[in-house]
Amino acid sequence: MPRLRLTLLAPWLIGFLWHAPVTLGQTAPASSDTPVVRPAQPSALDAELFYQLVLAEMQHRTDPGAAYSLILDAAKRTRQPELFRRAIEIALQGRAPQAALTAARDWSAALPSDDEARRTQLQLLIGLQQVREIGPLLRDWIRAAPAAHRPGLIALVPAALARATDRTQAVAAARVALEPSLRAPDTAAAAWAALGRVQRQAGQDADALQSARQAVRADPRSAPAALLALELLDAWPADAESLLQRHLLATRDTPDTDPAVRIAYARALAERGRLAEGRALLQPLPSLDAEGQRRLQLAEARLLRDHGHAQAAYDLLDQALRSAPADTDLMYEQAMTAERLGRLDEMERLLRELISRQPDDPQAYNALGYALADRGERLSEAKALIQEALRRAPEDAYIIDSLGWVEFRLGNLAEARRLLTDAMQRRPDAEIAAHLGEVLWVLGEPDLARAVWRQGLELDRRHRTLTETLQRLGVEP
Answer for the pair 240, 247: CB distance below 8 angstroms, yes or no. no
In a domain, 85, yes or no: yes
Q: Name the average pLDDT for the chain.
A: 88
Per-residue exposure over 17-41, b if at least 16 CB sit within 10 Å of its own CB, e if not: beebeebeeeeeeeeeeeeeeeeee
C-beta atoms surrounding 146 within 10 Å: 6
In a domain, 384, yes or no: no
| CA–CA separation, 425 and 442 (whole Å) | 20
Tell me, what's the pLDDT at 62? 75
**pTM score:** 0.78
Tell me, what's the pLDDT at 48? 67
pLDDT digits (tens, 9 = 90+) for 26-58: 434 444 443 333 333 344 456 667 666 767 676
The parts of the chain modelled with pLDDT lower than 50 are 1-9, 13-14, 17-18, 21-44
| CA–CA separation, 192 and 239 (whole Å) | 16
Tell me, what's the pLDDT at 257? 79
CATH of the domain at 98: 1.25.40
Tell me, what's the pLDDT at 33? 43
In a domain, 176, yes or no: no
Strands (E), 373-430: none
For the chain, the helix, strand and coil percentages under 3-state DSSP, each to the nearest 5 = 75, 0, 25
In a domain, 112, yes or no: yes
Per the structure, the complete domain to which residue 47 belongs is given by: 1-29+39-129
In a domain, 444, yes or no: no
| Alpha-carbon separation of residue 84 from 38, 80, 291 (angstroms) | 31, 7, 44
Tell me, what's the pLDDT at 74? 87
In a domain, 242, yes or no: no
In a domain, 16, yes or no: yes
Tell me, what's the pLDDT at 46? 64
Identify any residues that bridge with 38 across adjacent strands, giving them in sequence order: 26
| CA–CA separation, 187 and 184 (whole Å) | 6
In a domain, 18, yes or no: yes
| CA–CA separation, 38 and 455 (whole Å) | 70
Nearest in space to 339 (alpha carbons), one of 370, 318, 299? 370
Domain count, the chain: 1
